[in-house]
Amino acid sequence: MAAYRPPLQDIRFVLDELVDLDELCQFESFKHVDPDSIHTAIEEFARWTAEVVAPLNRIGDLEGAVHDPETNTVRTAPGFADAYAQFRDAGWGAVPFEADYGGGGFPWLAGIVMQEIMSAANLSLSMCPLLTQGAIDMLMAHGSEAQRELFVPRMVTGQWTGTMNLTEPEAGSDVGALRTKAVPQPDGTYRITGTKIFITFGEHDMAENIIHLVLARTPDAPPGTKGISCFIVPKFLVDDDGNLGERNDVACVSIEHKMGVKASPTCVMSFGDEGGAVGYLIGNENEGMRYMFTMMNNARLSVGLEGLSIAERAYQDALEYAQERKQGRAVGAAAGVQSPIIEHADVRRMLLLMKSIIEAMRALVYTQAETIDMANHHPDPELRQYKQLMAELLTPVVKGWCTDMGVEVTSLAVQIYGGMGYIEESGVPQHYRDARITPIYEGTNGIQALDLVMRKLPLKGGEVVTEHLSLIAMLDPALLRGGAQLASIRSNLAEALTTLADTTHWVMAEGATDPRQAMAGATPYLRMFSLVTAGALMAKTALHAAERLDAGTGDADAMRAKIATATFFCAQVLPQVHGLVAPVRAGHDQLFAIGVEQFAH
């Protein structure tokens, strides 16, 4: 396995060229920082992460988290608690949160870059601050001022961590089927009883308190998602000054034995074994699902980012192996001399496929983070609304496509290793196993596809998606001016955009008259939409690289590589769009042409 090297050169390129970091730093919320300060912070965090966090990734996979059934406690893998303590004490987790609550007040974009680095270094460990981040978002958006003052500062610093408790044995993607109960008490609290499963870092030894956010039903609540409320349920009860009191009636009764991310404890949580856990209502009763959706853009961006991160880590391993492993003689090599496998055409194809997809994912993830910053902080309220709608449109794309690509890229890494890639000691199987959860949690990618076609395409009567496609079309004149070196990028993007636009009109029309038709083709449509969006970002990458070459600025070899990688993506990945038209339009009848009993041989 290669030692993880944060890809700072490409990170800087995206921050300097594809997103407008300078503009973000002009917003009132971020005037105390500047691009140089952000780059400096990222570089120092990258150094620390590579030295301290990355070496624990393999240890975590081998040792995992351990549950003690006698005490219902969880011991994290060796080194995790110390690394988290360093992370907490250095204030790294606080960087993108509001200064009023102990944060650094940096743009969310900066926090996303740091998330990428930590997730690539050690996906399991990174999931603890990631879940805390989601809990903070919920409390900041919907908690009372007293709740924010009590819980948020201690979660921002990492002194306390957070969880999200949604899933139950009979309520997975269908959250409306949950049965956990919340009974109001005379003192204004609630007593929570029920069981939650798949709770990431629901119990661990890295923080003094864990703040569980729990979805539950109050008495007489309406059925389905309309009857769900959200509650704060601390592991340890706290007084008004934040001092820890007695243990709440909540316990981890077991942890799952998983395919991957083994060092991230996935807990079965029991609430109310001794009469009911004390919970505090967030906002109003029966509005818990609405509150959950307000944090989805950030949460699903972070999971999409995990696909990018694990792909980057697998690519670095595969690249080093391809440079060192000698096998066969490449065309043109001296007789009797074995060549590094990177000299063979098919290995080159796989490496370029990995590299181009990773660069496209990074551009997509960072652009989405910038869009969220704009939606939250731009001084123009109309532009904030516009950016919010764009963020909503692209959320299923970021989550769905990047996690699918994370699995595909890690699989390619195994392939490049050949037989050794199937051997655990090589290290690359861990990346593939770790990546496989990402298309599943935070809403399966099938749900992301349905979200795109049924909820996001109709936004503002289709105006939002039309604007998105128009922005892609507006790249054409600049690509034309780029001349021969950008000609194939231009033609491939234009053809793919035409196919996407035609198919989008079909999906929207069918969705309006018979939703089953649009739903049947949702997953291939999500892939099509994602490829064209990614292709547009690769075209922008090539445009900015060409401008740098013309101006004689930057690393000329790196800029030529950027253009070559974008050309490869648009020539060999983007044209997959055309083959997806038939699956999108195949319709509902093909999927239901046989009965359930006929699936058996």
Helix (H, G, I), strand (E, B) or coil at 193: strand
Contacts of 436 (CB under 8 A, 6+ apart): 259, 260, 407
Locate 120 and state its tokens: 């690539």
17, 343, 442, 510: the active-site residue: 442
A 10 A CB-CB count for 68 gives 11
Locate 358 and state its tokens: 């990773």
Strand runs (DSSP E) across 85-173, as ranges? 160-165
d(C-alpha 219, C-alpha 182), whole Å: 7
Residue whose token pair is 């998983």: 258
Contacts of 83 (CB under 8 A, 6+ apart): 52, 53, 56, 122, 125
Q: Amino acid identity, residue 140?
A: M
d(C-alpha 111, C-alpha 109), whole Å: 5
d(C-alpha 308, C-alpha 539), whole Å: 19
Contacts of 574 (CB under 8 A, 6+ apart): 492, 493, 496, 531, 532, 534, 535, 538
Crossing angle of helices 381-417 and 428-435, rounded to 10°: 140
Crossing angle of helices 463-473 and 381-417, rounded to 10°: 70
Given a contact cutoff of 8 angstroms between Cβ atoms, the answer to whether 110 and 39 are in contact is no
d(C-alpha 16, C-alpha 25), whole Å: 13
Given a contact cutoff of 8 angstroms between Cβ atoms, the answer to whether 164 and 127 are in contact is no
The burial class, CB within 10 Å (0-12 / 13-18 / 19+), for 335 is exposed
320 labelled catalytic: no
What are the backbone angles phi and psi of residue 155, rounded to the nearest 5°?
-80, -35
What are the backbone angles phi and psi of residue 192, rounded to the nearest 5°?
-100, 130
d(C-alpha 76, C-alpha 262), whole Å: 10
Supply the residues annotated as catalytic. 442
